[in-house]
Chain A
Amino acid sequence: MSEATWTHKLNPTVLAIKPSAIRRFFDLAAETKGIISLGVGEPDFVTPWHVREACIFALEQGYTNYTPNSGLPELRREIVRYVAESYGVEYRPDCEVLVTVGVSEALDLALRAVVAPGDEVLIPEPCYVSYQPCTVLAGGVPVPVPSGIEEGFQARAEALARAITPRTKVLLLCFPNNPTGAVLPRRELEAIARLCQAHDLIVISDEIYAELTYEGEHTSIAALPGMRDRTIFLTGFSKAFAMTGWRIGYALGHADFIGAMTKIHQYTMLCAPVTAQMAALEALRNGREEMRRMVREFSYRRRLVVKAFADMGLPCFNPGGAFYAFPDIRSTGLSSEEFTERLIKEEKVAVVPGNAFGACGEGFVRCSYAASVDELNEAFKRMHRFVERYRAGRRAAVRS
């Protein structure tokens, strides 16, 4: 290997992006035999067979070509029908839908389409790991708005209002939330909607976990009066339809936003893979029943998880959506990263440290319950032992 380095030739913006805090724990967990992982951000279900089979059939039929930039027309029609039925927001299939390579691409496109250099993007934290770097890469300035366990990790209009400046252009929302599992009740959403209208903000709403809402119905901010046109609604098939690896999602919104996003998408991606689009079409047409079955399974496990943390004496608010719980681990005297590292080494259970999702996640860990009931029971048994040990150690230290 030559000794020369090329980092001086790299884009300083890219160089300045910090490596993901998750990476180290991934390596540690991957080399640990017998690990039970609650650190996985995807369903433990394989894509339902009828969806896989439809994709195989599409390949047999010769579906191997480019599709229109915005996606197959029949898929766009099916998407707008699904969104109208599920969330009560209507979009035109010809100019207000863009099929993307997962919500990840849709988020990148949305930010690049609206953010000009120096524009500020409000990002309620804890949040998904890509929001901050994607904002920076789009030339924007991420403005984290922290939340805590006291408010159930919900974004609050008052906190957002305090962070608004004349440069604020976008509010980036994600509820149900990764990593906390928090959902935003309608009343809270309405206060945020009023704020966005008063300050003329655009909302980019990542609703990939919308179907995984366990108490009451999911409300999209796009469905609130006056919000449809200022919201770029992003969602996809990964979580509810167990299709993470297919990389297929979509964006919905005003034709001006979708048009601008399509402009970037046509030059950078051209189109989402036709195989994934055909599979997504089958999922929407015939996959609702299977999806509801998976959602019900997650809802069972959610109760198990909440009870397990209560039994351990770790404060954990009741997560209303997604498949994550976000317990408070401060009583162990460990930081999020220490907790995670020692839990892997001592008890072979992997979680994700809360600080990977923003500074306010420190003192918490993300536990995914996309694992079987047996795995969850065993993992919580080990975690309980671990927590007791550290708490006892702490009490002894206090006494001496």
Chain B
Amino acid sequence: MGNNAHKNTDKDLEILELLAKNSRLTSAQIATLLDLTETEVEQTITRLENNGTILSYRTLINWDKVDKERVLAFIEVKVTPQRGVGFEAVAERIGRYPEVKNLYLVSGLFDLAVLVEGRTMKEVANFVATKLAPLEGVTATTTHFVLQTFKEEGVILSDGEKDRRLVVSP
């Protein structure tokens, strides 16, 4: 549990898990699945939106199917923590770049794991060289370009697991 987590009921969790898998479910549909009233579901969702639990409703896209140049890179960043603010000040500055999709503080041989998106390798390399590496507190970066995406957000992209059941069985 995060240090600023809210106390949630089982119903909150069930609604969140359903929405995490399919954000297009309507309140009426969720109400049916969970045996709640539509009003209860709507009130819960509004509360979870207002308290910052639900941040946005997205679509998971297989960008390999889209005719658009796109490059992803994982960048390991070593940071000298600053007195008083630890890693947060640097993380804050890195996170504000729109090129940065994901940003984590991690244990191990480096400190920040940064997922960067750009149109070309050159663009990403340029971002690292001119924006990320020179930041005060950053002592080293290692860039790993993504070659292929196999799984995203729990979904296997080239999933060959079809429904192989007989159409009618006893």
Binding site for B on A (CB under 8 A): 20, 22, 25-26, 29-30, 35, 37, 39-42, 44, 46, 128-130, 178, 300-301, 303-304, 307, 350, 352, 356, 373, 377
What's the Cα separation between A29 and B166 when bound, in Å?
10
Q: A44-B163, A46-B161 are in contact. Are A352 and B33 (CB under 8 A)?
A: no
7 residue pairs A–B, Cβ–Cβ below 8 Å: A30-B167, A35-B167, A40-B166, A41-B169, A44-B165, A178-B170, A373-B25
Q: Give 7 new A-B contacts, CB below 8 A, not counting A40-B166, A301-B33, A304-B32.
A: A22-B170, A29-B168, A37-B165, A300-B18, A300-B34, A303-B34, A373-B22
B168–A37 touching, CB < 8 Å = yes
A130–B170 touching, CB < 8 Å = yes
B161–A350 touching, CB < 8 Å = no
Chain A residues with CB under 8 Å of B167's CB are: 26, 29-30, 35, 37, 39-40, 350
B32–A307 touching, CB < 8 Å = yes
Chain B residues with CB under 8 Å of A22's CB are: 168-170
B17 (CB) vs chain A CBs: closest residue? A296
What's the Cα separation between A301 and B34 when bound, in Å?
9
A40–B168 touching, CB < 8 Å = yes
What's the Cα separation between A388 and B163 when bound, in Å?
30
Chain A residues with CB under 8 Å of B163's CB are: 44
Chain A residues with CB under 8 Å of B34's CB are: 300, 303
CB distance from B166 to the nearest CB of A (A): 7
Chain B residues with CB under 8 Å of A37's CB are: 165, 167-168
What's the Cα separation between A367 and B165 when bound, in Å?
16
Chain A residues with CB under 8 Å of B22's CB are: 373
What's the Cα separation between A25 and B170 when bound, in Å?
11
8 smallest beta-carbon distances between A and B, as pairs: A39-B168, A300-B33, A26-B168, A29-B167, A129-B170, A41-B169, A37-B167, A307-B32
